[in-house]
Structure formats: structure tokens, C-alpha cells
């Protein structure tokens, strides 16, 4: 199995990247186009998925994200493309918190996830992911809703990564207030 590929970013799209390594181009399903720069070297951790009619590579920015992906695809009814979409949409920390809080409503907002699959994810993974979470603080539903709203507005996971900890300094606000505060913070970071 191919554990990782290090090479030059040849081209990429919203859901894939082509990495050139020693004259060979590897097409990898990849959910983080925001970290890619054409003609720059990158290391991507990979999972090789083999089916009767296809061999696919799925890529991850970190070993932790790869480990979480492996746990997700072990859930009954959850395939690798859906698992990759989930991680691209919500991010590892927010996903772990939603599972630990048994937040079916939030899981159902994820692409390709219905009530049955959300329940199965919680049943299979609750209590098995907490050690991957770097802080044990529980993020409020309002902050989680804010992160989802900002993703919908087109902000990338990399831009939003440190935002929850900043918002948690202001407890008991409503979603609308968190969104307004987040937009101010994000605008300030861009130097506007």
C-alpha cells in the first residue's frame, strides 16, 4: 500500500490533486485545495482503495487526518469519498466534538449523511476519538453553527482553524453574534 507521496503539484481541482513524482503523475482525491500551490513540493499521506473496477488514492494533509479517515470508513455504509467529503467540510476537531456530543443534527448537515448514517457514526465511533482531540473543551452549538455558516460562505478550513478558540473567549453569544464577530476577525486578518 502507498503510505504517502511526496512530489510537485502538477494540477488540482476542488476534489483532487495530481502530484508529479519522478515522471509519474498520481491522481489523488484530496479535500484541501487551499493548501496547494502549483509547481510546489508537497507531502500527502495516502490511502489506496481497491475495488474490482478501480484503484483510487485518497490524500490527507496530516497523519491524524488519515487516522480519522480510516475510522470513518470502518463505519458501516460509509465509503471513502463520503468520508473524505466529511473531513473536507467540517474538519477533524469539529467532527470529533459532534460525535462525542451525539449531535445527530450537526452530522446530518454534512454532505451525504442522513439520520441513519449519522446514528451509525455515533454508535461506532463515540468514545474512540477523544484522544485525537487536542483540547477537551466542548464547543457550543452556536459556535459550531457559525463554523458551518462560514464554510457555506466559502471560507476555507485553514482560514477557520483557530477561530473557535477565539470565539470561546466570548461565551453565551448567539450564532448571529458569533458570525458577525468571526467576519470582523477574518476581515482583520486580511489586513482590511
Four-way CATH pick for 65-132: 3.50.50.60, 3.90.580.10, 2.60.120.560, 1.10.150.20 = 1.10.150.20
Alpha carbons 99 and 22: distance in angstroms, whole number: 41
> At residue 114, what are phi and psi to the nearest 5 degrees?
-110, -175
When pLDDT is averaged across residues 79-99 and rounded to a whole number, the result is 89
For the cut 60, the answer to whether the pLDDT of residue 132 exceeds it is no
Go through the chain and tell me how many residues it has: 192
pLDDT of the residue at 133: 39
CA angle 44, 113, 116 (to 5 degrees): 130
pTM of the model: 0.66
Alpha carbons 139 and 178: distance in angstroms, whole number: 12
Across the chain, where does the E strand assignment appear? 4-12, 16-21, 24-30, 41-51, 54-60
Asked whether this chain's domains 65-132 and 141-189 adopt the same fold, the reply is no
Please tell me whether residue 160 adopts helix, strand or coil conformation: helix
Closest-CA residue to 47 (of 64, 60, 31) = 60
Query: Cell numbers at residue 159, please?
Result: 482560514
The percentage of residues in the chain with a pLDDT greater than 90, rounded to a whole number, is: 47
Closest-CA residue to 147 (of 124, 136, 163, 134) = 163
The class of domain 141-189 in CATH terms is mainly alpha
Alpha-carbon torsion angle 110, 111, 112, 114, nearest 10: 30
**Distance separating the N- and C-terminal Cα atoms of the chain:** 46
Alpha carbons 63 and 189: distance in angstroms, whole number: 28
pLDDT digits (tens, 9 = 90+) for 136-157: 455 677 787 788 788 878 887 7
- Please report which helix (H) or strand (E) contains residue 85, including its range: helix 80-90
Please tell me whether residue 190 adopts helix, strand or coil conformation: coil
Q: What architecture is domain 4-60?
A: Beta Barrel (2.40)
Residue boundaries of the structural domains of the chain: 4-60, 65-132, 141-189
Please tell me whether residue 111 adopts helix, strand or coil conformation: coil
Q: Are 46 and 28 in contact (CB under 8 A)?
A: yes
When pLDDT is averaged across residues 53-74 and rounded to a whole number, the result is 92
pLDDT digits (tens, 9 = 90+) for 104-123: 999 999 988 999 999 999 99
Amino acid at each position: 500500500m502507498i503510505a504517502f507521496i511526496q512530489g510537485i503539484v502538477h494540477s488540482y481541482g476542488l476534489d483532487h490533486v495530481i502530484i508529479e513524482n519522478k515522471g509519474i503523475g498520481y491522481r489523488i482525491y484530496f479535500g484541501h485545495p487551499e493548501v496547494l500551490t502549483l509547481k510546489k513540493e508537497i507531502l500527502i499521506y495516502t490511502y489506496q482503495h481497491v475495488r474490482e473496477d478501480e484503484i483510487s488514492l485518497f490524500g490527507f494533509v496530516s497523519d491524524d487526518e488519515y487516522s480519522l479517515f480510516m475510522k470513518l470508513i470502518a463505519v458501516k455504509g460509509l465509503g471513502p469519498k463520503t468520508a473524505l467529503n466529511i473531513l473536507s467540510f467540517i474538519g477533524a476537531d469539529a467532527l470529533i466534538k459532534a460525535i462525542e456530543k451525539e449531535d445527530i443534527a450537526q452530522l446530518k448537515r454534512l454532505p451525504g449523511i442522513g439520520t441513519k448514517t449519522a446514528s451509525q457514526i455515533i454508535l461506532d465511533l463515540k468514545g474512540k476519538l477523544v484522544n485525537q482531540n487536542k483540547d477537551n473543551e466542548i464547543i457550543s452549538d452556536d459556535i459550531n453553527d457559525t463554523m458551518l455558516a462560514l464554510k457555506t460562505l466559502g471560507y476555507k478550513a485553514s482560514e477557520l482553524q483557530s477561530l473557535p478558540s477565539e470565539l470561546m473567549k466570548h461565551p453565551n453569544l448567539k450564532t448571529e453574534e458569533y458570525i458577525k464577530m468571526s467576519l470582523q476577525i477574518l476581515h482583520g486578518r486580511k489586513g482590511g
